[in-house]
Structure 1
């Protein structure tokens, strides 16, 4: 059973609206169509794909662990970050600075690709990857 491409990742933020605003206003994702799932949330689109799902408050039920309730597992490991392909390195820098978002940059050894690292309102790491020609500009 081979796996296909990553379809989305889901965050259960402590502040649904602030997290939606971060991903849309800061990173440029688009708030789009979401089925009526019976609880608040957003599907945020990147390149026409609902890449980031945000969960609002839900009622606990079998198989569903809800923020603030007992965890199903003692330790599920540490989620470090999610990465997006990006373009317009100078424009992204300017946008982040104008919104007073802290970030760090690096150039990947050997490949020469540029990267920006930042955090969403809940501390989820976000990596933006730019092609090598943008790192040289």
Structure 2
């Protein structure tokens, strides 16, 4: 058998606030919580639908999420962002607005890809990508202050 990467299995995110993280991924993004084994520390799994099954976002809290100083780190460090695909661009903008979240928008040059960038409660940046040909309503707002600029963080801890 030839070795090959066949997909993304999961992404793990540390949190100091499991309840806020659970609300963000369920209520704002609309993901379903998946069954999670009892690892002996708190956490949650969220199913991310993909062709052929589901990737899983693993959220863990408590001891394993804490650094040497006893605090969960904030931000995504060397990982710039996690990208998810979606439909319903305008609905996600409305959800972000309703949740009081800041976000950025982008139209990938030379393509029909619309993107929204938002941070989860732990400072992990998410890119949500849409096929603009399937979307109704307005295209991404590319104005100053709303347009996504790579490398420029807009995360503000609450």
TMscore range, shorter length: 0.7 to 0.9
Structure 1 residue ranges without an equivalent (≥5):
60-65, 71-76
Residue of structure 2 in register with 1:49 after alignment? 54
**Count of residue pairs the alignment pairs up:** 125
Pairwise CA distance, 1:34:
0.8
Contact 1:89 1:134 in 2 (8 A): no
Structure 2 residue ranges without an equivalent (≥5):
70-76, 138-158
1:113 correspondence with 2:113: yes
Superposed CA offset, 1:64-118 (max 9, x none): xx52327xxxxxx611110100101111111111111110111111112100001
TM-score, normalization by structure 2:
0.72
Pairwise CA distance, 1:40:
1.2
Secondary structure in structure 2 of the residue aligned to 1:2: coil
Residue of structure 1 in register with 2:89 after alignment? 89
Runs (4+) of structure 1 moved beyond 3 Å? 134-137
TM-score, normalization by structure 1:
0.82
Contact 2:116 2:128 in 1 (8 A): yes
Residue of structure 1 in register with 2:128 after alignment? 128
